[in-house]
Amino acid sequence: MKNDKETVNLVVGKNILSANDRVAAENRAIFEEAGVFVANVMASPGAGKTSLILATIERLPPHIRPGVIEGDVASRIDADTIAARGVPVVQINTGGGCHLDAPMVRAALTDLPLDSINLLFIENVGNLICPASFDLGAHLAVVVPSVAEGHDKPYKYPGMFASASAVVLNKADLEEVFEFDHPFFRCGIEMVNPAVPFFVVSCRTGRGMDAWVAWLVAALQTAQKNR
C-alpha cells in the first residue's frame, strides 16, 4: 500500500504535467495558425545549442525566416549573440528552474513577431533530464549531444534520446581528442529510438551541417504542405 506522501507526490506531478500539456496544445495551435514550424532544442550545458542554431540559420534558404526563444537560468548572453545576427529573439530566464515549460513559452510569444517568421528555435535550458518531460508545443524535439561529453550519454539519459525527433551530435572535429566511440554511442540511441534521424556535425568546421539543414528544411516544408 502506498503511503500518503507518495500518493500526494504522484498526484501533484500528474496535475502539473496535465496543466502544462493543455497550454502546450494551445501553443501548438497558435504556431499552426501563424504558419510557424517549431523546434525544441535540448542538450546539456556547453553542448553547443546556440552554436548549432546560429550555424543552421546561416545555411537556411532565403524564404525561411527564423526566430529564437532563448531559455537560460540567468543572463542574456546567448540572446544578445543571436540578436547581433539580426534574428528576432526573446529571452526567458527561469531563475533557477531546470527547464522551460509551456506557460513560459506562451508568455514569450507576446514579444515575438510570429507574423515575420516561419521557423522558431526554442533553445531549452541546459539539461538532459527535465526538458524531455515538458511539452512546449513544438513540432520537433532536437537533442544535441556533443563529442566532448563522451559516448555514454544515451545510456545515462535514455528518456531524452527516446523522445527525440532528431539527434545532432555536435563538435565532431574533437572526435580524436576525446576518443569518441561512435558505434557504442549509436548503439545506445538505437536501443531506445532506432529510427531517429542522426547527424554528425561540427559548427566550427561546417562538417555535416548541409545534411542536417536539408533535413530540417524538408521537415518544415512537409509540415507546410500538410496544413
Give the tens place of pLDDT for each residue, 36-80: 999 999 999 999 999 999 999 999 999 999 999 999 999 999 999
Which residues lie below 8 Å from residue 206, measured CB to CB, with a gap of 6+? 55
pTM across the whole model: 0.92
DSSP state of 86: T
Of 17, 41, 29, the C-alpha closest to 134 is: 17
Alpha-carbon distance 124 to 162, whole Å?
Answer: 17
pLDDT at residue number 14: 67
Give the domain CATH number at 39. Answer: 3.40.50.300
| In contact, 124 and 97? CB cutoff 8 Å | no
pLDDT at residue number 6: 53
What range defines the domain where residue 138 resides?
Answer: 4-225
pLDDT at residue number 17: 83
Handedness of CA 108, 143, 150, 162 (dihedral sign): positive
Task: Provide the domain count of the chain.
Answer: 1
Alpha-carbon distance 87 to 171, whole Å?
Answer: 24
Q: Give me the residues of the chain with pLDDT under 50, please.
A: 1, 8, 10, 12
Alpha-carbon distance 75 to 56, whole Å?
Answer: 23
| In contact, 68 and 88? CB cutoff 8 Å | yes
C-alpha cell recorded at residue 103? 506557460
